[in-house]
Structure 1
Amino acid sequence: MSMVKESIDVDVPVRRAYNQWTQFEDFPSFMEGVEDVRQLDDQHCHWRTKVAGVQREFDTEIVDQLPDERISWRTTGGDAKQKGVVTFQPLDETHTRVSLAMDFEPEGMVEKAGDKTGLLDLRIRGDLRRFKGFIEERGEESGAWRGRITPGQSDTQTPPSGKWEPPATG
């Protein structure tokens, strides 16, 4: 596996940066190559990406989520293997450091070449810059999910809030 680590300082309070990051379905607005993210429930998302002409679909599971501090995930199915964590560090009342660390398994010649040349590092850096612009220009987050997920179990006592709603059953 390969590791990528990047950080950026955003000019918003930690709560706003964290709340926006929990809105996974907004990721295509600032993440290059992410075509669609569908939130399935409080712990699972389905992703569709296209990077360097290679299309992938995969599922992720949030394994640890502590409001205003961190979100950790891993892939659980599909044709991508990765795990990572994003952390939120308040620098003062109106500034936050967002740090992303991700392990991934490059597959195929294109991905392996991109990994060796640092293409993923550049992409993640660009995604964080676009996140900075996205959250700073909006003036407020588009939603929030403040639930706590601990490794090995989910928090069923904290209902979702903000934009994301569980799928209707019928």
Structure 2
Amino acid sequence: MSTVKESVDVEVPLRRAYDQWTQFEEFPNFMDGVDEVRQIDDRHNHWSTSIGGVHREFDTEIVDQLPDDRITWRTTGGDTQQRGTVRFERLDDTHTRVELTMEVEPTGVAEKGADALGMIDRRVKGDLHRFKDYVESGGGESGGWRGRIRPQDPGTSL
């Protein structure tokens, strides 16, 4: 697996940055190659992506979520294997650091080549900078989900 770690400082309060990130269905507005994210329940999302002419669908499960601190996920279905954590750090009343760490297992010749050329790192960095622009401009601000998910929780409904 390849590990990608990137961060960006956003000019919004911690709560706003975190709340915006929990709006998973808004991801296509700032994540390049993400066509759709459909939230199934508090823990599960279904993703549809098109990257480099390759269409993929997969499911993710949130395994740990602590409001205003972190969200950790892993893939659970499809042919994409990844896991990651996004962390939120208050810098001051109006600035937040968003740090994304992902482990990705490239599949197929095209994805392995893209990984070797550093394209996955650049894509994540670009996505974080587009998130910065999106959240600072007001984005899809509509509140956020503030629930707590622990790895041992069986899951809850919306």
8 Å Cα contact 2:59/2:78 also seen in 1: yes
Residue 155 of structure 1 deviates from its aligned partner by 6.4
Deviations 1:49-80 (A, max 9, x none): 01111110000000000000000000000110
8 Å Cα contact 1:28/1:34 also seen in 2: yes
Paired residues for 1:151-170 under 5 Å: 151-154=151-154, 156=156, 166=158
Residue 139 of structure 1 deviates from its aligned partner by 7.0
Give the whole-Å Cα distance in 1 for the aligned partners of 2:8 and 2:134: 13
Runs of 4+ in structure 1 over 2 Å off: 139-143
Aligned partner of residue 17 in structure 1, secondary structure: helix
The code of the aligned residue for 1:85 comes to T
8 Å Cα contact 1:17/1:141 also seen in 2: no
Paired residues for 1:41-120 under 5 Å: 41-120=41-120
Aligned partner of residue 137 in structure 2, secondary structure: helix
8 Å Cα contact 1:14/1:94 also seen in 2: yes
8 Å Cα contact 1:12/1:94 also seen in 2: yes
Partner of 2:149: 149
8 Å Cα contact 2:43/2:155 also seen in 1: no
Cα distance change, pair 121–32 in 1 and its aligned pair in 2 (3 A): same
TM-score by length of 1: 0.89
TM-score by length of 2: 0.96
Aligned partner of residue 153 in structure 1, secondary structure: coil
The code of the aligned residue for 1:34 comes to V
Count, aligned residues: 158
Deviations 1:35-62 (A, max 9, x none): 0000000000000001111110000000
Cα distance change, pair 111–44 in 1 and its aligned pair in 2 (3 A): same
Partner of 1:17: 17
Aligned partner of residue 109 in structure 1, secondary structure: helix
Instruction: Give unmatched runs, 5+ long, in structure 1.
Output: 160-165
